[in-house]
Each structure stands twice: as structure tokens, then as C-alpha cells.
Structure 1
Amino acid sequence: MSQKVRAVIARRKNEPVTVETVVVPDPGPGEAVVKVQACGVCHTDLHYRQGGISDDFPFMLGHEAAGVVESVGEGVTEVEPGDFVVLNWRAVCGQCRACRRGRPWYCFATHNAAQRMTLEDGTELTAALGIGAFADKTLVHAGQCTKVDPAASAAVAGLLGCGVMAGLGAALNTGNVQRGDSVAVIGCGGVGGAAVMGANLAGASRVIAVDIDDRKLATARKLGATHTVDSRESDPVEAVRELTGGFGADVVIDAVGVPETYRQAFYARDLAGTVVLVGVPTPEMRLELPLLDVFGRGGALKSSWYGDCLPSRDFPMLIDLYLQGRLDLDAFVSETIELDGVEESFDRMQAGDVLRSVVVL
């Protein structure tokens, strides 16, 4: 039997979000209903509200979530009612060419629930990243549920569902930071801060945080940065080179995603170094680089989509590290709010006042 729950809805482009009643159907084959316990407020949710991802309004927002499986549909074996799970938007198919090559973190056909949640009048909703977790309960594909140790706080565990995983994975997976490497991170908000933490966790000898906000640079220090660069006051390329013996960093992570910061990342890396783009550009952005420099500097230019994570592999491991006291995920939770506080949290996020606001239900 379907259920009626509260959820945060973006009805039209750039209009404030509202808390409305949503109808959640019983799970069908391969689906699960999850009782949401906490959900982080991510910049992607704001992009949905601004119409920057698609115009398939109305949207049911929220995707950085953790909760408990309430019910499952036919054929579901990976989770069962009562399991504590982190929701993910990379439910791998197991059948596409990436999965068949043994690279499921690149899956080209990830799963979402087949059924749609609706408003009370029957209007179908588009769930953000196939999740829609600013809600008491949500319907997802069972593969979007990753079981983790229930000893972890839901407010912390849910952050692995998007931004924190994107940053950690940019360093650990895409950048493949090795012990003793030098790493520079440009842009130290939630994703960049997590990249700093990931580089530190990997054993980087030097982690250089670059930003224009003193507050973010101070936070980056707490997350493991050994050096900081205020790019309002100095050229970040020259500063990174100076801090790395004149050579540039082994890995440079662009967590902003605009042409200017990408060029900085490109020239701030050592010869044969790696650039990782994890900040999300907008469709109109264009980049121009001398092709001879691309050729002559060698190395690798990579994009990191969701930190190249495999949720079934990475989420339980990272939660274990958190419970062991080796990964301070609590540092990302700036505040906890209620469902009706999401719109105001967008303002604080844009002002740089928080790393993450987390809705606790």
C-alpha cells in the first residue's frame, strides 16, 4: 500500500522550495523503500532548483542520505528490511561494457527505481539523482542501497552519498595519490575539503590547499592540509611550485570546475603529473590550452565522476575508517536542520558559511 510522506519539492526554476505531501508507492521488483534518517544539503540540489541540470520539474530534492530499509520488492537479495544503508546514485548494472571489463565504477547504465513518486494530485516527480531523500521515506532501486555499519551516525554516513565521496575519491581513486606524493587542491569547500582529507589519508607528504576564503583555508588545515595558499594574494601556480621545490605538485585537484582554476591546475602540476577535475562545470564553459603544452607536459588529465567510487567497495571501508577514528567525517557537519530549513541552508552554502548542512529526520 502506498504511503504519504513529507518531502522537499522544487516546483519551478529558481523558486523557493516547499515541503509538500508526496505519495511513495510500494516497492516493485528490484526496488526498496527507505526510511530516511538524515540527508546532507549538496550544491547539486541547488543546481536542480536553479534548472541547471534539467527542466524536468517538479523535482524531489535530496540525495546525500542514510537510513533504514523499510521494505523491498520482488527479487531483492542485497538488502533486507532493517538494514542501515547509505543511498548512492551508482547502482551498477553488471552488464554494460564497463562492468563486463571489470570497471563497474564507470558503469554506463546505472539503475534507478522504475516507479515514480508523485504529488497528491498524481503529478510525477523527478527524484534528484534518482534518490529524492529530503523526505521521511523514499523509493529507490535496491542497488542504490549500500549496507554499512549501523554504529555510524546517519548524519555522517549519508555524506558519503555524494560530496564527501566525490572529494575523497578524487584523491584516492582518480588521482591515485601515493605515499610521499605532493598534492594541491584548488577550491576547499565540501568536495575540496574531502579531497584534502583523502590526500592526507593516502599518505601525501605535502597537501597544499588553495582558496580565496580564509575560513575555508582554516578548515582545510584542520582536514589535513600542510600548507595553504590564498589565491587573492598570490599566483596559485607560482605558490604551488615554490612549495614543491620549483617543480609543481604530483597531483592537482580542481574542485571548482571553471576554466581559470583548471588552467591553474594544469600548470601547477609537475611534469608527468596528474590533473583531476572534480568540480562540475556549466554547459557554456570553454577551455583553451596550447596543444603543445598538453603534449609536452605529459602526465594525465582526468575527470572524477563521483570520485570514481564503487559504493559496495568504498562506503563500508570508509565507514570502518571513521569508526576507527582514522577519518574525521564529523568535521563536515556544520549544522543540523529540519526539512523546512533547506531553502535557508542554500543561502548559507552559497555564502560559504557551512561545509554541510544536514537534514535530520
Structure 2
Amino acid sequence: MSTTVQGVVSRAKGAPVELLDVVVPDPGPGEVVVDVAACGICQTDLHYVTGAVGDGYPFLIGHEAAGTVTAIGAGVTHVQVGDRVVLNWRAVCGQCRACRRGEPWYCFDTANATQPMRLADGTALTAALGIGALAPRTLVAEGQCTRFDPSVRPEVAGLLGCGIMAGLGAALNTAAVRRGEQVAVIGLGGVGMAALLGARLAGATGVIAVDTDTSKLSLASDLGATATIDAGSCDVVARIHELTGGVGADVVIDAVGTPGTWKQAFYARDLAGRVVLVGVPAPDARLDLPLADVFDYGGSLKSSWYGDCLPERDIPMLLDLYRQGRLDLDVFVSETIGIDQVNEAFERMRAGKVLRSVVLMQ
């Protein structure tokens, strides 16, 4: 029998989100109902609200979540009732051309629940990233659930459902930072800070943190940055070259995603260095770059989707590092709030005052 809960819904481009009744159906074949314990508010949620990632309104937003499986549909074998799970939006199919060539982190046919959740009047909702977890209950595909140790608080575990995993994976997976390398990270929101921690985990000798917010630069130093750059007070490219003996960084991670920051990343690297774009660009963003410079610098220019992670591999590994005290995930939980405070949390996000606001469900 379906259940009705109150979820955070974006009904129109640019409009404030609303707390509305959401009907969650019983799980069908391959589907799972999860009672959400905690859900982070990610920049991607704001992109849904502003219309930057589609026009499938109304959206049930929220996707960076952890909770407990409360019902399973026919044929579900991946999880069982009572499992504590992190929700992820990369439920790999194993059959598409990316999976078959041994690159499942690029899976082109990831699974979502077949049935839509709906408003009380019957209007079908588009679940953000196929999850829709800013609600006490949601319906997902079984492959979107990754079990985790219940000793980890859900507000911490859920961080790996999107943004923090994106940053860690940008360094560990996409850039494949190696021991002894010099890494620069441009933009110190949640994703950028996570990329910094990922570079340190990988054994980077130097990690240069770049931002215009002095409080974030200070936190970056506390988290292991070996140098910081106030982007508002100097030439970022020249300063990175100065800090790396005049040659540039081996890896530069752009966690902002504007043409200006991407060009800084491109020119701040060493010859044959790697640029990783993990910040999500605006739909109308454009680059103007001399093709000869692309040739002359060499190296690689990469985008990082969800940190090129495999949830079943990476989430347990990273949470194990957290439990060992080797990966500080607590620092990302800037505040915990109620489900009726999401609009205010978006304003704090816009102002750069939080790494993550996390909604705790009652």
C-alpha cells in the first residue's frame, strides 16, 4: 500500500521550494523503499531549482542521503529490509558499452525506480538524480543502495551520495593523483575541500588550495593544504607556478566550473599535466582557447562525473577510512536542519557559508 510523506518539491524554475505531500508507492520488481534518516543539500539540488539541469518539473529534490531499507520488491537480492544504506545515483547496469569495456564508472544506463512518486493530485514527480531523498521516505532501484556500517552516523555516510564523493573521486579516480605529485584545487566548497583530502590521501607532496574566502583558506590549511592562494589578491596562475618551482602543478582540479577558473587550471599545470573539471558549469558557459596551446601543453583534460566512482567499491572503503580516523568527513557537516528549512539553507549555500547543510528527518 502506498504511503504519503511530506517532501521538498521544486514546482517551477526559480521559485522557492515547497514542502508538499508526496505519495510513495509500494516497491515493484527491482525496487526498494528507503526511510531516509539524513539528506545533504547539494549544489546540484540548487541547479534543479534554478533550471540548470533540466525542465522536468515538478522535481522531488535531494539525493545525498542515507537511511534504512523498509520494503523490497520482487526479485530484489542486493539488499534486505533493515539494511542501512547510502543512496547513490550510479547503479551500474553491467551491460552497456561502458560496462562491457571495463569502465562501469561511465555506465550509460544506470538504473532508477520504474514507478514515479507523485503529488497528492496524481502529478508525477521527477526524482532528482533518480533518488528524490528530501523526504522521510523514497523509492529507488535496488542498485542505488549501498550498505554501510550502522556505527557511522547517517548524516556523515550520506555525504558520499554525491558531492563529497565527487571531490574525493576527482583526485583519487579521475586525476589518479600519485605519490609525490603537486596538486592545486581551485574552489573550496564541499567538493573542492573533498578533492583536497583526496589528494592528501593519494600521497600528494604539495596541495595548493585556491579560493577568495579567507575562512575557507584557513580551513584548507587545517585539512592539510601545504599552501593557500587568495584568488582575489593575486594572479593565480603565476602564484601556482611560483609555488611549484616555476613549472606548474602536476594536477589542477577545477571545483568551480566557470570558463575563468578552467583557464586558470589549464595554464597553472606543468607540461603534460592533468586538468580535472568537477565543478558543474552553467549551461551557457563557453570556452575560447588557442588550439595551439592545447597541443603545446599536452597532458589530459578530463571531466569527473560523480568522481568516476563505483559506489559498491568506494563508499565502504572511504567510510572504513573515516572509522579509522584517516578521513575527516565530520568537517563537511556544517549544520543540521529540519526539512522545512531548505530555502534558507540554499541562501547560506549561495553565500558560501556552509560546506553542507544536512536535513535530519524526524
TM exceeding 0.5: yes
* Unaligned ranges ≥5, structure 2: none
1:343 maps onto 2:343 in alignment: yes
Distance 1:223 1:169 in 2: 17
Distance 1:332 1:321 in 2: 15
Distance 1:28 1:224 in 2: 47
SS, match of residue 23 in structure 2: strand
Aligned to 1:97: 97
* 1:15 shift after superposition: 1.1
Aligned to 2:334: 334
Aligned to 1:153: 153
SS, match of residue 170 in structure 1: helix
Query: How do 1:285-324 residues align onto structure 2 when only pairs under 5 Å count?
Result: 285-324=285-324
* 1:178 shift after superposition: 0.7
What does the per-residue CA deviation read over 1:283-331, in whole Å, with 9 as the maximum and x for residues that have no partner?
2111111111111111111110110000010000001000110000000
Distance 2:52 2:283 in 1: 9
1:187 maps onto 2:187 in alignment: yes
Query: How do 1:132-151 residues align onto structure 2 when only pairs under 5 Å count?
Result: 132-151=132-151
Aligned to 2:76: 76
User: Percent same amino acid at aligned positions?
Assistant: 68
* 1:150 shift after superposition: 1.2
1:234 maps onto 2:234 in alignment: yes
What does the per-residue CA deviation read over 1:129-159, in whole Å, with 9 as the maximum and x for residues that have no partner?
0000010100000100011111111000001
Aligned to 1:128: 128
* 1:222 shift after superposition: 2.1
SS, match of residue 45 in structure 1: helix
Aligned to 2:212: 212
Distance 1:223 1:355 in 2: 14
Distance 1:52 1:105 in 2: 23
* Unaligned ranges ≥5, structure 1: none
Aligned to 2:7: 7
* 1:190 shift after superposition: 0.7
Distance 1:30 1:19 in 2: 28
| Displaced runs of 4 or more, over 3 A | none
Distance 1:273 1:131 in 2: 36
SS, match of residue 184 in structure 2: strand
Aligned to 1:87: 87
1:271 maps onto 2:271 in alignment: yes
Aligned to 2:247: 247
Query: How do 1:109-128 residues align onto structure 2 when only pairs under 5 Å count?
Result: 109-128=109-128
Distance 1:223 1:335 in 2: 19
Distance 1:17 1:221 in 2: 36
Q: What amino acid maps onto 2:80 in structure 1? A: E
Aligned to 2:225: 225
SS, match of residue 168 in structure 1: helix
Q: What amino acid maps onto 2:319 in structure 1? A: I
SS, match of residue 282 in structure 2: coil
* 1:223 shift after superposition: 2.1
Q: What TM-score do you get using the length of structure 1 for normalisation?
A: 0.99
Distance 1:260 1:96 in 2: 35
SS, match of residue 272 in structure 2: strand
Distance 2:162 2:207 in 1: 22
RMSD: 0.7
